[in-house]
Chains A and B, each alone.
Chain A
Amino acid sequence: MVDHRKRRRRAEAKEEQLSLVLHTLADRSRREIIELLREAGELKVGDIAEAFSMSLNGVSKHLKVLEKAGLVERRVDGREHWIRVSWASLQQPYEWLHFYQHFWSERLDSLVDYVKDKGKNHEQ
């Protein structure tokens, strides 16, 4: 029973983390920052600001939100702040995708079975 509750708490924490990640990525600018970092690897905060013609302040705000969701990591080297994607946290949206791909695929198979059964009953 304790195990069951622990498992449930873990599952709930995971779902909440997924919500946070997806909410964070619901913003187009933040998705574009991730996309840029995906292509570039690691970038300085100033480079990201320049790429989007954004103020340093504006980019910093987005980066803080992305960091809070665990989507990017920051490395401080002297005066430079380097940002890169944290791939582990992006795994969750992919899991969501795979879960629902499987879920709906199975539901449609069941729908086929359902209409076939219904057809048979009508014939009788």
Chain B
Amino acid sequence: MSSNFELTVSRTIPASRKEVFEAWLSPDALQRFMCPAEGMSVPKVEVDACEGGSFLIVMLVGDKEMPHRGEYKTINRYEQLAFTWVSEHSMPGSLVTIDFKEKSPSETEVILHHVGFPSEESRTNHEGGWGRILETLGSQLG
């Protein structure tokens, strides 16, 4: 069942590993490539590029702002980047891990893995913790 909530997407990017890695931590680059579609924009990007630091990417669709937040868990230049990914009202425990593999000095393979439940969530896997979360969610639904 757990594999149902994981996905992997990969792509070969025509740039050096360093360049591709840094693009993920650059507000300017993120503003460009995190824009989901034409007619949408990314008016705000904030990045605190250190492990434990957080980021905010605001996407704008019409007049609706969609903030995406997360915290950097791993910044291992230029091999691996991992951050939590939370968008409004979506599931609170998701983790994105990106591996950067050098195919040639000017070609980098990016392997992005998005998991629905990061391990620290699974570790709090006892009745009490989940009971409380479900109660909170239940009151929100009601």
Contact = CB atoms under 8 A, between A and B. Distances in A.
A19 B130 CA distance: 12
Interface string A83-108: 00000000001101100110111111
A8 B138 CA distance: 19
A65 interface: yes
B2 A111 contact: no
Contact of B13 (A35, A65, A101, A111): A111
B4 A94 contact: yes
Interface in B71-130: 88-93, 110, 112, 114, 116-117, 121-122, 125, 127, 130
Interface string A8-35: 1000110111111011111110011011
A75 interface: no
Contacts, number: 121
A61 interface: yes
Given A20-B134, A112-B14, A97 B5 contact: yes
A83 B23 CA distance: 50
A115 interface: yes
Q: Is the interface on chain A under 10, 10 to 19, 20 to 34, or 35 or more residues? A: 35 or more
Contact of A109 (B11, B15, B88): B11
A101 B90 contact: no
Contacts of B60: none
A100 B15 contact: no
Interface residues of B, number: 45
A105 B14 CA distance: 16
A35 B4 CA distance: 12
A26 B141 CA distance: 19
Interface in B1-58: 1-2, 4-5, 7, 9-11, 13-15, 19-20, 23, 29, 32-37
A18 B93 CA distance: 12
B7 A100 contact: yes
Contact of B117 (A22, A100, A111): A22
Contact of B133 (A17, A23, A61): A23
A74 to B, nearest CB: 18
Contact of A108 (B5, B29, B110): B110
Interface of A: 8, 12-13, 15-20, 22-28, 31-32, 34-35, 61, 65, 68-69, 93-94, 96-97, 100-101, 103-116, 118-119
Q: For the complex of A and B, list the 5 residue pairs with the smallest distance between their C-beta atoms, beginning with the closest.
A: A15-B89, A110-B33, A31-B1, A108-B11, A115-B15
